Chains A and B, each alone.
Chain A
């Protein structure tokens, strides 16, 4: 049998539903006259499992899994990795250092822009954003670690 797109999607949804159901065991369902905290989540998970089953049933008509275009995945992975690093450093390093670093890595290393232009762009954009959000709009952006 050829693996199809909705086989994977349906199976993932089923797995997610089972996991949520397992995490719901400590939530009281209550009674119909006095519904508990677990009532809606349980009802929704049952609906989710039923719909995932429906998806699996009709999966034969969906395109083969190999037909999904993953050519953009490498770029997406790089962007996620750089953004994750920036988020991890956002509080320890502060807004200016973490964001300038993120912009520089994305433009210079990921997008292969010229070094000096990437440097000027990342520095300029960060400072401008700091001026607009931090100074003009008084948004409390995270301060750098030496403050």
Chain B
């Protein structure tokens, strides 16, 4: 514990440097805007701004990009409460009771509860991250190629199991991502794969054009401007302070949401979305007045908002400790670290303590900044919301083009982004979730390398994955997940994932 506190002190000495503070603030500000604006999520925001960080050192880059991620969870609540439009997918549940509170003239209180809940949960999440990540990283030092192969398979299966679109569809997307990740020179043999004499494809397909295309452009193509309403229920800023009863009603949901969110965040999948959904369900279940849900229940805002913030912090545990991205956002953050020559994983704590602890300490500071930023500036964010979407999306397309081009100064990347935008649009039409595709693309090189190394190590014996205890345990969990999915498919049960899909589609799963 003493060693952890010493390391944290080192982290704070990095995080309190004026330049690092500036980039943390910038990340939080951009993240809040990204969360506020419909049609642009944290993934597109991070991807577009990734090239801007090339001139920075790894610490400042990751501090800023992570600020965008957790900042967007804060910002997403603003549109949910004031417009009933989730600025970010994880704010879907906040729409239900947040907007109902706004209609009753309690918009200010709902925004404050969401911001305070997000702050408490974010800080609790960072405390848990501080405690949990280093021991996991130490444990992961025992991992060899077979363990990593099993871990990556488990990650993909977990993602598929947790997905609201179903296991076959999610695995299909992951397979497409893995295939895209195979494009380019094979690092072990030097063979060109699927590059069709296009020299730019020799280095493979970059994650940024794919992510920006699928999530930035794809989202714009699926959002015709006439469907975006600019009708806002304006908050009365004098009524920002919740009443004593509202505070009392929000304490336990915030605490429960924080713990639940962190635990869900560690598991691969769209953690922040699932966490807010589960938190809503838990709050409704434990409430003495469940009939209030859907009509402006304080717990319906406090719980989900806390859970999605805590989950976004929890998602950093596998990324930092194991080098395993659990979702597309952490995948892009991992790519950012790799670009800066800092490979995330068990060695990160020892080899780059300033980056690791500086990043963690910056999140404590970032959460404070977000609290200070979100409440007084709510009026500014409401003004941003009034920018007609017909002007907003052309700007987003411009940022997409700049962001993608600046990564490699390659126009081929921009074409890939455009193609991926169309693919993302079509995938949405056919009810495919593009997130596993990005994850597949990111893990393809790690997965291929560890799989081939394992086979070479064992002289071609597949049993190596079953002979090593950690790999064996991980694969047992994989079999269990497949069994559970098959069971659910056979019984045609309408479980929580079906309800999640309903909520993501914008319907009220509470029936309210």
Contact = CB atoms under 8 A, between A and B. Distances in A.
B379 interface: no
B194 A23 contact: yes
B55 interface: yes
Contacts of B452: 35, 39-40
B271 interface: no
A66 interface: no
A12 to B, nearest CB: 8
A22 B398 CA distance: 37
A70 to B, nearest CB: 8
Interface string A75-111: 1100110011011001100010001001100110001
A90 B431 contact: no
B51 A139 contact: yes
B168 A55 contact: yes
Contacts of B418: 80, 83-84, 87
Nearest to A58: B168
A45 interface: yes
A75 B394 CA distance: 13
A48 B175 contact: yes
Contact of A76 (B169, B222, B401, B444): B222
Interface string B404-444: 01100101001100100110010001111000000000001
Contact of A87 (B51, B220, B224, B401): B401
A125 B462 contact: no
Contacts of A106: 393-394, 397
A138 B406 CA distance: 11
Given A9-B432, A137-B55, A102 B460 contact: no
B442 to A, nearest CB: 15
A122 B395 CA distance: 9
A68 B169 contact: no
A139 B399 CA distance: 13
B282 interface: no
B182 A107 contact: no
A133 B402 contact: yes
Contacts of A52: 172
B231 interface: no
A16 B437 CA distance: 15
Given A87-B418, A139-B406, A47 B401 contact: no
Given A36-B189, A90-B405, A125-B395, A47 B175 contact: yes
Contact of A90 (B168, B391, B411, B429): B411
Of listed B176, B194, B394, B459, residue having the most chain A CB within 10 A: B394
Contacts, number: 160
Contact of B225 (A27, A44, A62, A75): A75
A67 B466 CA distance: 46
B402 A40 contact: no
Given A36-B189, A83-B217, A113-B390, A102 B456 contact: no
A33 B455 contact: yes
Interface in B39-55: 51-52, 55
Contact of A31 (B193, B422, B429, B460): B460
B175 A44 contact: yes
A86 B267 CA distance: 41
Nearest to A63: B431
A116 interface: no
B448 A40 contact: yes
B498 to A, nearest CB: 13
A125 B398 contact: yes
Contacts of B432: 9
Contacts of B189: 28, 36-37
A127 to B, nearest CB: 12
A20 interface: yes
A122 B51 CA distance: 23
B460 A32 contact: yes
A69 B335 CA distance: 35
B32 to A, nearest CB: 19
Given A40-B452, A72-B224, A87-B401, 10 more contacts: A35-B451, A35-B455, A51-B171, A79-B220, A83-B421, A90-B405, A91-B411, A103-B395, A129-B402, A138-B55
11 contacts: A33-B455, A35-B452, A52-B172, A79-B220, A87-B418, A90-B405, A103-B398, A111-B394, A125-B398, A129-B399, A140-B406
